[in-house]
Amino acid sequence: MAIGPVQLVVLGFNHPNFHGEIIEELERLRETDAIRVIDALAVHKDAEGEMEVAHLSNLTLDEAVEMGTKIGALIGLGIEGEEGIEKGAEAGAEAAADGFEVFDDEEAWDVLEDIPNDSAAALVLLEHHWAVPLRDAVARAGGFRLADGFISPIDLVSIGLLEAEEAKEMQEMEKAAAAK
């Protein structure tokens, strides 16, 4: 089975007010089959930088620990604490020993370091099913991914894809959320 392009989306929350809406939206995305949610975690970092991790799914904690967390393995965070971090490090070392090229220090993205103290983040690992045929067509033509990223709403205004008023509303909503 071919897997589509996979993206890690990290969303920050200064003072999270979760009411199940994010899990509901993740479930809705699963139902569309355009995007598959591979894994989702909520990470809370207290004022001293200590972290608490919760699996964002309908799995119990025991099921999540048993299945493992794909995000945890990707970023070196174990849902079951230090033991999980060690397991992730061992898996990475085994992959490198098998000749699989893993991230070097220049390519590494310390997601956990980017989460400010006294805040929270939702980490969502998405597979883009819709992109499989496009990716395969590009590969057959000899192409490959050079880079990717989300484009700011303000930048979309400058190229005529979004009205200034809409971009301003989006920016204000993000600023308000960040200021809370």
Q: Give the residue extent of every domain in the chain.
A: 6-147, 150-180
- Helix boundaries (H) for 46-140: 61-67, 70-75, 82-97, 111-114, 132-140
Q: Are 112 and 77 in contact (CB under 8 A)?
A: yes
What is the pLDDT, as a whole number, of residue 32? 86
If one counts every other C-beta atom within 10 angstroms of the C-beta of residue 95, the result is 12
Residue among 74, 152, 133, 142 at smallest CA distance from 107 = 74
What is the pLDDT, as a whole number, of residue 148? 84
Report the amino acid identity of residue 20. Answer: G
What is the pLDDT, as a whole number, of residue 102? 47
- pTM over 0.85, yes/no: no
pLDDT by residue for the chain (180 residues), tens only, comes to: 568 888 989 999 887 777 788 878 877 877 888 888 888 888 899 999 998 887 776 555 565 555 456 777 777 765 555 555 555 555 555 555 555 454 455 545 678 888 899 999 988 888 898 899 999 999 999 999 898 888 888 888 889 888 989 988 888 888 887 776
Residue among 7, 11, 3, 5 at smallest CA distance from 119 = 11
